Amino acid sequence: MSVDSWSRVVFGGCVCVCLFANVVVAVSSCGAVRDVYQKQVGGLPEDVPLSPVSAVLTECSRTPEPSNESSCCSRAMEQTFVQSAQDYLRDSIKKSNHQLKQRINQSLTAFQDHLKLTTRETQAKIADALTLSYKIPKEEHTKVLDVFFGNLRMYLFGETHHTIGDIIDRFFRNLFPLVFDYVIIDPSKSKQMGQNFHGCLLQHYTALEPFGNVPTHLAKKLNYAFQRARVFSETLKVMQMTVDSVNNVTVDDECKKAVSRLQFCSMCGGHNEARPCRGLCLNVMRGCLSRISELSPSWDDLVMNFQNIQMGMFRQHNAQELLSYMDVNITDALLQASEDGPRIYSDVSTI
Ligand SMILES: *[C@@H]1O[C@H](CO)[C@@H](O)[C@H](O)[C@H]1NC(C)=O
Ligand SMILES: *[C@@H]1O[C@H](CO)[C@@H](O)[C@H](O)[C@H]1NC(C)=O
Ligand SMILES: *[C@@H]1O[C@H](CO)[C@@H](O)[C@H](O)[C@H]1NC(C)=O
Ligand SMILES: *[C@@H]1O[C@H](CO)[C@@H](O)[C@H](O)[C@H]1NC(C)=O
């Protein structure tokens, strides 16, 4: 995905009328203006004179001062123009932002869907290994795996404050009692040890170190790649919010008047077709949206950083790749506990 520069985002919808108030009335009826007035600014048809009349106009006057001229506009119409200017600006911005928002949304959705799928596949592989190779009953390990992979997804999508280290540590802690019961000792013995025994095992987990240094290594390895994936998600969300905040821009009175002249005053001359006149339009829009334009360099930086992250995501050792062989790392940890079983069992006997 590439994202347009900020100026294109904001000014992309700049289609304005070139001919505005400085036009001599060239029509004999204002009937066509009525339709346009109703459609474009939601005004009441009765505000529009049936044919050009003499009126003193301020916003749409041909001269910088208010002047008395023949026109299809009335004071009531001018007031409606100014009131509609902000809505008009917001609508134009919203339209040009819509496509950008959709692209951001699609990227985020595709990325998250892909990670969801990968984590589900990995979870299924690990569940199979625990059930088939280590004979831990499915109903015993399902909850432990659900919690672990739920936490990993929340981390990847920026929905938790826990670190990867915490999440991995908690997983191996929760796994330990099951590994002790089914891998280290004969399952028939564990039944006699009672409920409190598991609590006791967990209390001494750190000292027993049943999985050796596998949890620490795994956390280190995953941390960088998972962080990058998380920043990717978060950046897309910030972009969505930024685009949303621009949609809701407020504009000052001067700007509303400028937009009225630019966009609506052509109705006074009976001209009701908008003609694009980008240069003039851009100047007015830049003035109106100067506060947003100041964002432009920051937005461009954000886009560049985003593209760097995105390229990094497809290098080696990205989150998806690490997930794809995480089942091997977890079974390595179980193998280690199994080989170290006699030591762990004798340590446990002394506590
Ligand atoms: C505007 O001009 C017309 C004649 O062109 C005149 O009848 C009318 O009184 C003028 N109105 C004002 C407010 O000066
Ligand atoms: C994308 O848009 C759809 C529909 O508007 C919405 O339901 C979904 O939550 C959005 N996805 C993201 C990741 O923002
Ligand atoms: C996880 O397993 C893969 C594949 O066997 C291996 O290359 C990688 O070094 C392991 N990672 C850790 C932290 O043990
Ligand atoms: C837009 O601004 C108005 C106030 O001007 C506020 O009430 C509204 O909540 C804002 N909407 C969004 C989506 O930010």
Q: What is the DSSP string of 15-80?
A: ---SS-SS-----S--HHHHHHHHHHH---GGGS-SS-EEEEESTT-SSSS-EEEEES--HHHHHH
Closest-CA residue, ligand 1 atom 12, reads 68
Calpha distance 171→176 (Å, rounded):
9
C-beta of residue 101 within 8 angstroms of C-beta of residue 112: no
Predicted pLDDT at 315: 67
Residue 188: phi and psi, rounded to 5, are: -65, -25
pLDDT band at 202 (very low <50, low <70, confident <90, very high): confident
Q: Which residue has better confidence, 333 or 187?
A: 333
Q: Which amino acid is at 259?
A: V
pLDDT of residue 5: 47
Q: How far is CA 134 from CA 170, 264, 268, in A?
A: 20, 76, 84
- Residues enclosing ligand 1, CB less than 6 A? 54, 56, 68
Neighbours of 37 (CB within 10 A): 24
Q: Separation of 105 CA from ligand 2 center, angstroms?
A: 6
Q: What is the DSSP annotation of 207-273?
A: HH-TTTTHHHHHHHHHHHHHHHHHHHHHHHHHHHHHHHHHHT----HHHHHHHHHHHTGGGGGT---
Q: What is the pLDDT of residues 145-174, one digit of tens each?
A: 999 999 999 999 999 999 999 999 999 999
Ligand 3 midpoint to CA 330 (Å): 9
Checking if the pLDDT of 46 tops 80, the result is yes
pLDDT at residue number 169: 95
pLDDT by residue (tens digit) across 76-126? 999 999 989 888 888 877 887 888 888 888 888 988 998 999 999 999 999
Q: How far apart are CA 311 and CA 308, in angstroms?
A: 5
**What's the rounded Cα separation, in Å, for the pair 331 and 19?**
75
- Percent of the chain past pLDDT 70, that is, above it, reads 83
Task: Give the residue from 12, 13, 41 showing the smallest Cα distance to 272.
Answer: 41
Pocket test for ligand 4, best of 90, 245, 248, 249 (most atoms within 8 A of CB): 248
What pLDDT band is residue 275 in, cutting at 50, 70 and 90? Answer: low
Residue whose CA lies nearest to ligand 1 atom number 4: 54
CA 24 from centre of chain = 50
- Identify whether the C-beta of residue 340 lies closer than 8 Å to the C-beta of residue 332: no
243 CB near ligand 2 (under 6 Å): no
- Ligand 1 center to residue 31 CA distance, Å? 23
Residue 256's pLDDT is what?
A: 87
Which has the minimum average pLDDT: 75-79, 206-210, 228-232, 280-284? 280-284
- Which residues 6+ apart lie within 8 Å of 60 measured at CB? 20, 21, 71, 73, 78, 81, 260, 261, 264, 265, 268
CA distance 272 to 20: 10
Ligand 4: list residues with CB < 6 Å. Answer: 244, 248, 250
